[in-house]
Structure 1
Amino acid sequence: MTPDAGDEELGPWVAVALPTSEVVTVRLRGWQQAGDGSWWAACRLALWSQVSTPDGERAEPADVDFLAPAARVEPVDGQDYHAVPRVRHRDAVRRRR
């Protein structure tokens, strides 16, 4: 999957390995550190959703946000990750000192 023009604010693409061993390409919204020091990727995946209209049913994209363990996330060639926000957990920062 390649980025569309003008959608950089959605975040760069990453590959995420799912528990089913499938790999999906999703948007990386940011990194979040848990209190135990582990890192999690805040991701967004666009899926189809069924929408009822007066003219009948139709499909529309629906974003699903989820967290993936950092060990299951891989970079995608050609993506720029320098602006991806990182949020450290205060307990993890305190333990490190």
Structure 2
Amino acid sequence: MSDDQDPERGERHLAALPQADGPLVDVTLPDGQHLFAVVKSRRREPDGWWYYLQIHLPSQGSDRGRLLVLPAPVDFRVPAALCEPIDGQPYDQVPTERPGVTPAWKVEEPVSFGPERGPARIVHRGDCRAARDLTRPATTEQARAVLTREDAAPCPTCRPDRPLRTAA
């Protein structure tokens, strides 16, 4: 049993939660193991709620011939029944998708191939069709927070950083 578990009740102590860019849930894996994952969004499907989650695993990278250990994001979906909420996590900020409803904003996480790198995240208006890679719905607060990051940029097509123009 690890140091973060109560030996009498088998419960985890949640005081030492890892830093994350969203609320965490305790996910039960098919073999019964548990891990913490970041809730990126949730979607209502005909058979119930499904959560879009992300974890970071170690991955190999290099810099000038020197091997590095870099975090590699891994995205996956699970039914809500496999996710246990954690007290104190801000689930009210989780983008929620319902079929037929367009989100106010979308955050794209582009997939880069080759040495040329662009922004790690691109913010789009909810109805923008310019997104090409993994895109998640976002609240206004989340879109603003992403745009303050050094590794993020507004979409050059829909320009979410500019006010909408209204017809006169």
**Runs of 4+ in structure 1 over 3 Å off:** none
Q: Which runs of 5+ in 2 are unaligned?
A: 1-15, 101-168
1-structure distance, mates of 2:50, 2:98: 10
Q: Which runs of 5+ in 1 are unaligned?
A: 91-97
Indicate the structure with greater helix content. Answer: 1
Partner of 2:35: 24
2:54 to 37, 40, 44: 44
Query: TM-score, structure 2 length as denominator?
Result: 0.46
- Equivalent pairs: percent with the same residue? 35
Q: Give the AA of the match of 2:85.
A: P
2-structure distance, mates of 1:55, 1:77: 44
Q: Give the AA of the match of 1:57.
A: L
2-structure distance, mates of 1:52, 1:3: 25
2-structure distance, mates of 1:61, 1:18: 21
Partner of 2:88: 78
Partner of 1:2: 17
Secondary structure at 1:82 match in 2: helix
Output the aligned Cα RMSD: 1.7
Partner of 2:44: 33
Q: Is the 8 A contact 1:27 1:44 kept in 2?
A: yes
Q: For this pair of structures, how many residues does the alignment match?
A: 85
2-structure distance, mates of 1:3, 1:18: 19
1:88 to 92, 98, 103: 98
Bigger RCO (CA 8 Å, 6+ sep): 1
Partner of 1:63: 73
2-structure distance, mates of 1:88, 1:37: 13
Structure ID, larger Rg: 2
Query: TM-score, structure 1 length as denominator?
Result: 0.76
